[in-house]
Structure 1
Amino acid sequence: MSTYHEQQKISNTIRLRAILEESPYFLGEFFRNIANTTSIKTRVVYAYDLKIFFTYITQHHKKLKGMAFEDMKSDCLNDITVDDIEDFLEYLTYYQKPDPLCPEQMIDIQNDAEGKARKLSAIRSMYNFFYKKQKVKSNPAAIVDSPKIHNKQIIRLEADEVANLLDLVENCDTDAMSNTQKAHIAHAQKRDLALISLLLGTGMRVSECVGIDIDDIDFRNSSVKVTRKGGNESTLYFNDEVEESLLDYITQREHQKNKSEQEKALFLSNRGTRITIRAVQNIVKKYARIISPSKKISPHKLRSTYATSLYKETGDIYLVADALGHADINTTKKHYAAMEESRRRSASKYVKLRKD
């Protein structure tokens, strides 16, 4: 039987093929070229973004307007200019497209700077490939300015909010819940506590959490094996409080009546199958909105809470990057730049030019 991650890879491969079936044929060469240097998830995102780009081109480009995807060749890229790409980025701010579930109705689509930058990255990567292959005369995407992405404030839980969250999950004692809600939560209480404790205690991604098999837990070393974003395996370590919650849950899990004997997943749904990412998101939001109504807390915000706490305690940005599984240290620095600035300011207090 395939593992969760192998199944996800197969599912994404099928999804990629489906998108490429509805895209210009020549893109297949580009995707075969980047297959060994990118994850399948990245390729799916690139394929989706490039399909949007070429849909726009065939609807709005002066020369290529009305051309069918099957008639497009790579030399069509020579007809696309810097202005065309910049117009596309402006178009992404707001546009409409048919609702997949109800084609006669239109749905509104909006993209912020991050969404535009992601699509520009896909276009640049495609042009870079065909330019190196000498299949296009120029590379207009290379000189298009990236949208300016403003740093967003890190949304996280404070120490007292973390304690309140764990107390809430553990005790289910709040006037904000009805008796029916409390009864429903009590059924999954040990699982939810173990899940949220693990997210807060390791900073793992929600996709890494749902992919954990029960055999990935090593209580002798207080560690768990996860498959990172790019497909690499990594070992994360947890503290005694997380270990206690995991042991309590696993004991309950063993007696869950509707689970299959072959089910390897650590965290199970109420149906006895591997829990989904959406389910974890809903679990976190369900509790978090009670203890912190003004903050939109998601599993990713629990990851930010862990990272912020680790950085405050150690001041080691490289340790934070490694714990989070960031391949590029700049990704971590970008989020914690303000905290680094504060530390640099405090450095002036420790160096004196003249003794008092």
Structure 2
Amino acid sequence: MGKDSRYYAELKKNKLSQINDIKKDLPVYTHQFIDSCVLKYQINTALAYAKDVSLFFDFLKCRNPQCSGVQIKNIPLNILSALNAEDINEFQKYMVMNDGGSGHMVSNRTLARKMATLRNFFGYMADKGFIPEDPTLKADKNRKYEENDIKRLDVDEAKRLIKAVEETKAKTKRGSARSKNTAKRDLAIVILLLNLGIRVSECAGLDLNDVNFEDNTLRIVRKGGKEAILYINEKIRNTLRDYIKNERPLLTSDPKEEALFISLKNNRLSVRSIEDMLKKYGEGANLIERVHPHKLRRTFGTRLYNSSGDIYMVADVLGHKDVNTTVKHYAAVDEEHRRSVANLDLFGEE
């Protein structure tokens, strides 16, 4: 069914419901901005914007004396109109030191995203005449976050992870015992993520009829809501076929169930469950760092890039609109390629 499946319809409905719940606790004058986000952006982005606006009003309630004893939804517009650059700087310090009340220090990346929301919000409010000027324009620019090395598995770690799944190795005996009931499913997911680099949300959203064994293709719904057809290799095809034929019927007997990957509760396997499953097997494989779906996606991106040398192909396969995203986050040059540079005589005799 792709993007028209019941799963994606329910997902969007749920996100819209969350946005509406957030709006109920915010002043009415913020609703127009949030509604515009729903129209302009993907639903996940709109929800993130709504949460960030809500967080800023939590800050006002906590730190502005004029908001003491006032419900957030009743904070008057003149409070917003009176804000200046120093107030925005205070919010940044509040986030860096306290992460909006969570007690944890927020990362530079997270702060940059939240500040992007505030700039959009206050820019919108000023453009529409709600407030006289945008207080974020003269606020301090937060420090650009530095990218760490791309977190990925090396070949040995990937093999150890696959072996842990095949042998249903978990940290606890209970975890290993439960894994035996979903061993084929779990292996199919790990092989799929490692060999195709799809996002965990794309994996969870797969329906049974998205798999085409005749054409060796897989239909997925990308982050932006567009459908894409990807070609699967023999390893993916074999593990998927084994799971669909021999294990999926044991997890659900409902002919109306559309989901490809089924949980032990006989319904669609969730994103969180896939994340927990990978963490479990990563521990079973004695991998030092936690195994997260995005690490497998980056592993695929790096392996594909080092094999092909074609960054544009990697960007296309990963579904990136901007090749710079691929360069920055998904395509590291491995040590072998770095060493090979030393053997090149770029200006030697022809």
| Alignment TM-score, normalising by the size of structure 2 | 0.88
Distance 1:321-1:288 versus aligned 2 partners, 3 A rule: same
- Is the counterpart of residue 290 in structure 1 residue 293 in structure 2? no
Distance 1:335-1:302 versus aligned 2 partners, 3 A rule: same
Identity %: 31
Q: Can you list the C-alpha shifts for 1:217-251, whole angstroms capped at 9, x where unaligned?
A: 11122221111112111122221001000000000
Distance 1:211 1:308 in 2: 24
**Contact 2:198/2:318 (8 A) holds in 1:** yes
Q: What is the one-letter code of the residue matched to 2:109? A: E
Distance 1:254 1:187 in 2: 10
- Is the counterpart of residue 158 in structure 1 residue 161 in structure 2? no
Distance 1:80 1:348 in 2: 60
Q: 3-state DSSP class of the match of 1:281?
A: helix
Equivalent of 2:18 in 15, 38, 53: 15
Q: Can you list the C-alpha shifts for 1:82-130, whole angstroms capped at 9, x where unaligned?
A: 11111111111233888xxxxxxxx634312122112111101112212
Q: What is the one-letter code of the residue matched to 1:22? A: D
Equivalent of 1:93 in 93, 96, 106: 96
- Is the counterpart of residue 281 in structure 1 residue 284 in structure 2? no
Question: How far off its partner does 1:338 sit?
Answer: 5.9
Give the 5 Å matches for 1:85-234: 85-95=88-98, 108-144=103-139, 145-172=141-168, 178=173, 181-234=175-228
Q: What is the one-letter code of the residue matched to 1:123? A: L
- Is the counterpart of residue 30 in structure 1 residue 47 in structure 2? no
Give the 5 Å matches for 1:207-356: 207-253=201-247, 255-256=249-250, 258-335=252-329, 339=333, 346=341, 349=344, 351-352=346-347, 355=349
Question: How far off its partner does 1:161 sit?
Answer: 2.0
Q: 3-state DSSP class of the match of 2:40?
A: coil
Question: How far off its partner does 1:156 sit?
Answer: 1.5
What do you get for the CA RMSD once the two structures are aligned?
A: 2.9
Q: Can you list the C-alpha shifts for 1:189-227, whole angstroms capped at 9, x where unaligned?
A: 111111111111111111110100000111122221111
**Contact 1:131/1:139 (8 A) holds in 2:** yes
**Contact 1:210/1:277 (8 A) holds in 2:** yes
Distance 1:19 1:136 in 2: 22
Distance 2:170 2:326 in 1: 39
**Contact 2:298/2:330 (8 A) holds in 1:** no
**Contact 2:188/2:240 (8 A) holds in 1:** yes
Q: Greater shift after overlay, 329-338 or 120-129?
A: 329-338
Distance 2:119 2:154 in 1: 40
Considering fraction of residues, name the structure with more strand: 1
Question: How far off its partner does 1:77 sit?
Answer: 2.9
Q: For structure 2, list consecutive stretches of 5 or more residues without a partner in the other structure.
A: none
Distance 1:46 1:186 in 2: 41
Distance 1:254-1:53 versus aligned 2 partners, 3 A rule: closer
- Is the counterpart of residue 39 in structure 1 residue 33 in structure 2? no
Question: How far off its partner does 1:63 sit?
Answer: 5.1
Q: What is the one-letter code of the residue matched to 2:63? A: H
Distance 1:311-1:175 versus aligned 2 partners, 3 A rule: closer
Counterpart in the other structure of 1:101: none
Distance 2:315 2:332 in 1: 16
**Contact 2:60/2:67 (8 A) holds in 1:** yes
Q: 3-state DSSP class of the match of 2:119?
A: helix
Distance 2:83 2:48 in 1: 22
Distance 1:255 1:64 in 2: 57
**Contact 1:161/1:292 (8 A) holds in 2:** no
**Contact 2:248/2:262 (8 A) holds in 1:** no
Q: Can you list the C-alpha shifts for 1:42-101, whole angstroms capped at 9, x where unaligned?
A: 111111111111121233235555544344455543311111111111111233888xxx
Q: Can you list the C-alpha shifts for 1:114-157, whole angstroms capped at 9, x where unaligned?
A: 22112111101112212222333222213431332121222211
Distance 1:52-1:183 versus aligned 2 partners, 3 A rule: closer
| Alignment TM-score, normalising by the size of structure 1 | 0.87
Q: What is the one-letter code of the residue matched to 2:261? A: F
Distance 1:323 1:75 in 2: 49
Q: 3-state DSSP class of the match of 1:155?
A: coil
Distance 1:162-1:338 versus aligned 2 partners, 3 A rule: closer
**Contact 2:170/2:280 (8 A) holds in 1:** no
Distance 1:67-1:271 versus aligned 2 partners, 3 A rule: closer
**Contact 1:116/1:147 (8 A) holds in 2:** no
Distance 1:65 1:338 in 2: 50
Q: Greater shift after overlay, 288-297 or 73-82?
A: 73-82
Distance 1:271-1:175 versus aligned 2 partners, 3 A rule: closer
